[in-house]
Amino acid sequence: MNILTLNHVHKSFARTEGEDVTQALSDITFTVKDGEFLSIVGPSGCGKSTIMRLIAGLIFPTAGTITLNGEIIKGTDTERGMVFQKPTLFPWLTVKQNLDFTAKMKGYTHKADYESESERLLELAGLEEFRNDFPHQLSGGMAQRLALIRTMINKPRVFLLDEPLGALDAFTRMNMQDEILKLWQRSNHIVLMVTHDIDEALYLGTRIIVMAPRPGRIREDMKNEMPYPRVRTSDEFLQMRKRVLEMLNFGQILN
């Protein structure tokens, strides 16, 4: 079983002027195991994306430790796949080549090992007709869909999603939410997702972490035991949504 642990993690960044620092995160502690889908919500500037970058190994804690299966994370790895808020694609490769390159980096040596999954994901994302186009020829939403399926194809043990669906239209966004759920349910691995969309967090997550800002800290770590598939208009869903909004100090808009 994969176990990801953040133990009393702090993160500070140096300011551009003077000797002051910005404390982005303070005493972040939680554990996530296989079979859990952790949604992280909170206001802008509370360190949600910083948590994802720390787990990805792109930056390192100022204090505390982050471990996967007891080993300290010391850098990036294909077992921890991350999708960013904006697409990070190779501009000199076509849509299909971007997707295939990632599969090859995972270690697939024969095209037959990944070709069928590559074609399925292209169809899912509505990009099959654009396989020979380059990233600059895609719309912002199309480019983000490509970035998402490029990480999906590797089936990482820890799937990190940093607000990846924000640029998509509502219909495509819901389809991709369901596909992310299917991927997680098939693999039973760890998924962490940062989102500003509370409905999305509740629809997907088995747990919801609510963050507070300045410095970023965990306000609440709550279980979401609603059965799948979830209904966004159910009483249970709406009650939980109200609870999260109240934690984010939006309770007054509900009265």
pLDDT for 73: 97
Q: What is the extent of the structural domain holding 253?
A: 1-75+192-255
What pLDDT does residue 18 have? 63
In a domain, residue 158? The reply is: no
CA distances, 184 to each of 18, 34, 180, 219 (Å): 45, 9, 6, 26
- In terms of C-beta density within 10 A (0-12 exposed, 13-18 middle, 19 or more buried), how is residue 136 classed? exposed
The predicted model scores a pTM of 0.88
Q: Is 197 domain-assigned?
A: yes
Residues 170-195: tens digit of each pLDDT: 888 888 898 889 888 888 899 999 99
Q: According to the model, what pLDDT value does residue 19 have?
A: 63
The amino acid occupying position 41 is V
CATH of the domain at 30: 3.40.50.300
Q: Determine, yes or no, domain membership for 64.
A: yes
For residue 171, being part of any structural domain is answered with no
pLDDT at residue 251, as a whole number = 44
Burial 207-219 (b: 16+ CB within 10 A, else e): bbbbbbeebbbbb
Residue 53 lies in a domain: yes
Q: Tens digit of pLDDT for each residue in 18-27? A: 667 889 999 9
Beta strands across the sheet bearing 37-41: 80-83, 158-162, 190-194, 37-41, 207-212, 217-223
Residues of the chain with pLDDT under 50: 251-255
Count up the domains in the chain and report the number: 1
Percent of the chain beyond pLDDT 90?
A: 60
**120 lies in some domain:** no
Residue 151 has what pLDDT? 87
**Is 66 inside a domain boundary?**
yes
CA distance 129 to 135: 14
Contact 140, 61 (CB under 8 A): no
Residue 255 lies in a domain: yes
